[in-house]
Structure 1
């Protein structure tokens, strides 16, 4: 963790999924010295994604991610596993972007709301609050998600019923803070195969 006068520093970050109304968001507190790769894991677990797709961070004009090969990695400015959060985001109110699943193009805006001293006895990362369930994976981005929500309003329509069957049980209003925090604590789930 980052140290300032011997005190570990914590970033309070709001993670908001762009292009969705009503909003889907989480408020988390994370160690300032975590790597962007570790922050990626926190975002996945807090939001409820399955971590089965590529992703990247955009901070200013720089892009950070997992260098996969020359086709993908050549456009990145740095490997996210080698960059600490407090090296690239240094102030409150700073905003940056996280994109998950380049096909569905789930864009998230991350805002550093506060930089705080760590509280003794608190296991970081921690989710403080949030609203609404994460969309199902591979539902087609914000536009496909909107279609899914519309289908929930007309479940007897054959076209809607097919979409609802594909999505499975899904409550867009659900948010379980205890379940999110349980996922954030070790041992964490293995990555998607």
Structure 2
């Protein structure tokens, strides 16, 4: 239990801070501001050594990780408050999480990290899957007391500079201790001198690279397995939690936060689609409608010609959001014309980006205002309220 106490305690402090302070997220990145990060950091065990509130959230590795896990697990969602300010709001999942014992909370956070954390886009493009894999492999093959240091000839050497956050993630989860390089400042400058794994970290690293390797949230995981000539047997009926709960022996992990939570699937969905504070439309669609239908509704509402490609980005912007592309775009993943609104289990207050025309890049902010499961579901999309005159699609300078 000693290895996971800091993890649980810090996440509890994070939740208490969000509940008590109700911090407003920054307008551009929609993350915690510098002052909030500084104040929260002072409460943590996995804290950054700082004297003034001079750093953005991404420099507080533990805070940035907890913030991301809170959203990826949907314990919280981003939404506008009554004054239009973006904050974190709790979901039905949070109560379920708080009812878990300490071991179960740890497993939930660790499972969320391995299976839902966006390893592909969260950090610098120089990172590739092999670099982090090599670090985990070094830890897995280490013995108690071994010290892992940079190998200039190994691809994983970038993990000591631009990928330093990953070492801090391992420390957060109790895998071992980091020795930092004093005075390191630049992004491409080494800040990690060494990492000393403990027995617990060695065991979990082995678990990651054997029993849980195919659950790693990387689109290129199949290429890694092929490159390493690893053949993994999978069971389609196997639940991820059933794999992770066996990390702790003695039948002490029995419960988790269920994927299926209290959320209205059916009914009428009311979306507010905005180009600015003074130019927006409110639309009603059925739970059976697709994101392709939502695209068409937005085009009609703003009097556009519907003559270009488009995409929706869920849970973030163009770089960080999960993309849903139109059927004519050359991309893999979800397709707007076949992805129904109900299938994504959206929350009231959830916000996402709609991008139309990959050249001119018209960006619309979309917010789910209401899910009414008692109202008659519309056969066609409906404009129920509007503000502002529609802009000219092909006239610059708007």
TM range (shorter): 0.5 to 0.7
| Residue 65 (structure 1) aligned with residue 325 (structure 2) | yes
| Residue 131 (structure 1) aligned with residue 387 (structure 2) | yes
> Which structure dedicates a bigger proportion of its chain to strand?
1
The Cα shift of 1:67 comes to: 3.5
Q: Look up the match of 1:108.
A: 364
Distance 1:77 1:14, change over 3 A: same
Check whether the contact 2:354–2:363 (CA below 8 A) recurs between aligned residues: yes
- Which of 284, 296, 299 is residue 44 of structure 1 equivalent to? 299
The Cα shift of 1:122 comes to: 6.0
What secondary structure sits across from 2:267 in the alignment?
strand
2-structure distance, mates of 1:27, 1:114: 11
Deviations 1:122-177 (A, max 9, x none): 6642211111122111223xxx11xxxxxxxxxxxxxxxxxxxxxxxxxxxxxxxx
Structure 1 spans left out of the alignment, 5+ residues: 1-6, 146-193
Alignment of 1:40-189 (within 5 A): 40-60=295-315, 61-68=321-328, 72-74=329-331, 76-120=332-376, 124-140=380-396, 144-145=397-398
1-structure distance, mates of 2:368, 2:270: 6
The Cα shift of 1:115 comes to: 0.5
Query: What TM-score comes out, normalization by structure 2 length?
Result: 0.30
| Residue 34 (structure 1) aligned with residue 289 (structure 2) | yes
The Cα shift of 1:11 comes to: 0.6
Deviations 1:75-102 (A, max 9, x none): x422111211121242100001101122
Quick one: higher RCO (CA 8 Å, sep 6+), 1 or 2? 1
What secondary structure sits across from 1:78 in the alignment?
coil
What secondary structure sits across from 2:292 in the alignment?
helix
Structure 2 spans left out of the alignment, 5+ residues: 1-264, 316-320
1-structure distance, mates of 2:354, 2:297: 12
Deviations 1:38-92 (A, max 9, x none): 1111111112111011111111232112243xxx423x42211121112124210
Check whether the contact 2:311–2:325 (CA below 8 A) recurs between aligned residues: yes
What secondary structure sits across from 1:33 in the alignment?
coil
The Cα shift of 1:103 comes to: 2.0
2-structure distance, mates of 1:84, 1:122: 14
Check whether the contact 2:267–2:376 (CA below 8 A) recurs between aligned residues: no
Q: Look up the match of 2:272.
A: 14
Q: Answer with 1 or 2: which has the greater Rg.
A: 2
Distance 1:23 1:67, change over 3 A: same
Check whether the contact 2:266–2:342 (CA below 8 A) recurs between aligned residues: no
> Which structure dedicates a bigger proportion of its chain to helix?
2
